Amino acid sequence: MQLTLYADVDELLGGLLNRMQQILNRKLIGLYLYGSLVTGDFDRETSDIDLLAVASSEINDEEFERLRKMHDDFVAENRKWGDRIEIAYLSATALRTFKTQTSRIAVISPGEPFHFKEAGNDWLINWRVARENGVALFGPAPTTIIEPISKQEFLKAVCEQAKDWGEWVYQMRNRPAQAYAILTMCRALYAYKNGEQVSKKQAARWAQECYPQWSSLIQNALAWRAAWRDEAAKHEATLPETVRFVHFAIEQIAENRLG
């Protein structure tokens, strides 16, 4: 079955689903693809693959260990995708109650090993994108199992996440991390101004037109994202301007909210 524009990605997704089903059996009730592979502008060299795996109950410790080994094996077999897969495993109950309480979920994401964490309303943006744009690789439509999220709830979450970047940006020392911060804030600006989520690249082009004074920095961010292997880059030299842009975007969102 053709799920994406890329035959090798389709094969990879089919393989992941098969392995999950072998471990979780009937406990796996849905697997959903979202992110740039669905919304557009997927880059075969740099983009992540975002998946939401829904189970009938929380992942237990034994299942966690089996899934961890599965992901280790996957990395060994697919070096190109080793640090570019983000999968969240959580219960159907968690997707109905995330607005009011946290639940234990199992997550693997770029730069982090497979681990447990508590997640609740802080994942609202992810779940809205998965609900509105997600593609079911297995199971019912995402709208049937993810709690509805209003535009007002979405915009509030965008604003809160944007404010957090005021502190997070100081940790973005290398250029790929700075590119991530800049493009994430472009997407936050777009979301707050237009009420919907688009890809980072789409948001970057929009921000260049709306804020021409930052056009060069945003263009640099797109280049840094593509040239993430450039070890000769002077990473620290560009951090001050990245910090200024992040704080500018936060102020724009705050002003728009107050307005």
Q: How far apart are CA 247 and CA 229, in angstroms?
A: 27
Q: What is the pLDDT of residue 83?
A: 83
Question: How many residues does the structure list for the chain?
Answer: 259
Q: How far apart are CA 99 and CA 253, in angstroms?
A: 22
Q: How far apart are CA 110 and CA 115, in angstroms?
A: 12
| Domain 7-144 -> CATH class | alpha beta
Q: How far is CA 146 from CA 124, 149, 153, 178, in A?
A: 10, 9, 14, 32
Query: Tokens 């190109």, residue?
Result: 80
Residues of the chain with confidence (pLDDT) below 50: 258-259
Q: How far apart are CA 84 and CA 86, in angstroms?
A: 7
Q: What is the pLDDT of residue 161?
A: 94
Q: To 10 degrees, what angle do helices 235-258 and 175-194 make? A: 10
Among candidates 92, 77, 74, 56, which has minimal Cα distance to 17? Answer: 74
Q: What is the pLDDT of residue 41?
A: 81
Angle at the Cα of 76 from the Cα atoms of 75 and 79, rounded to 5 degrees = 65
Q: What is the DSSP letter of 251?
A: H
Q: What is the pLDDT of residue 58?
A: 97
Q: What is the pLDDT of residue 230?
A: 56
For the chain, domain boundaries:
7-144, 151-258
Question: Which pTM was predicted?
Answer: 0.90
Residues 169-218: tens digit of each pLDDT: 999 888 888 999 999 999 999 999 999 989 899 999 999 999 999 999 99
Query: Tokens 């789409």, residue?
Result: 202
Query: What is the dihedral angle through the alpha carbons of 243, 244, 247, 252, rounded to the nearest 10 degrees?
Result: -140
Q: What is the pLDDT of residue 227?
A: 66
Q: How far apart are CA 74 and CA 87, in angstroms?
A: 13
Q: How far apart are CA 122 and CA 242, in angstroms?
A: 24
Strand ranges (DSSP E) for the chain? Answer: 28-34, 49-55, 85-91, 103-109, 112-119, 135-138
